[in-house]
Amino acid sequence: MPGFGRLERPRPAAPMSDINMTPLIDVMLVLLVIFLVTAPLMASSLRLELPRAEGAAPDAAPQAIALAVDAQGRVYLGDAPVSDAALRERLARTAAADPQAEVRLRADRSVPYGRIAELIGLVQAAGLARVGLVSEPAAAPAAAGPAR
């Protein structure tokens, strides 16, 4: 019998000197999955022609066709009204002569998006791929006066 007041103490565990690899492997597998999922998204097939800092002159296109749509949906080639059939024929002739020709489309603010989409489809069906949407620059904000 041990002495009075003396308690048996278990021997403390030896310090663990090994590194637990399980959390490290879990983190590495999660990172691998993230990279495998995002890698195809980063290599997108979408190619954009971004503008240069100085900006190109509007006449930089080899040939430009001015196309306009008024508030009633009537189409104008230059300043002359034109039907869809005549426009299709003119665009096909232009595409045959110069496939890099650019179509500059100006449309009234109230023209429905569907009409614009029809015209862009008509241009693309004729064989022209360069379509520019023309807009007016935004108005500069008014100078703020002193607050009262």
User: Given the structure tokens 């703020």, which residue do they identify?
Assistant: 144
Number of domains in the chain: 1
Residue 57 resides in a domain: no
Residue 112 resides in a domain: yes
The burial of 135, by beta-carbon neighbours within 10 Å (0-12 exposed, 13-18 middle, 19 or more buried), is given as exposed
For residue 44, count other CB atoms closer than 10 A to its CB.
8
Residue 99 resides in a domain: yes
Q: What is this structure's pTM? A: 0.51
Distance CA 81, CA 75 (A): 6
For 12-60, what is each residue's pLDDT tens digit?
A: 777 777 888 899 999 999 999 998 888 877 664 444 343 444 444 455 5
Residue 13 resides in a domain: no
Residue 110 resides in a domain: yes
- Domain extent for 113: 76-128
Residue 25 resides in a domain: no
Residue 35 resides in a domain: no
Asked if pLDDT for residue 118 goes beyond 60, the answer is: yes
Residue 28, pLDDT score: 95
Residue 29 resides in a domain: no
State the chain's mean pLDDT as an integer.
76
For 38-51, what is each residue's pLDDT tens digit?
A: 887 766 444 434 34
Tokens of 88: 């299709």
> Do 67 and 77 touch, CB atoms closer than 8 A?
yes
Tokens of 135: 């807009």
Distance CA 106, CA 110 (A): 12
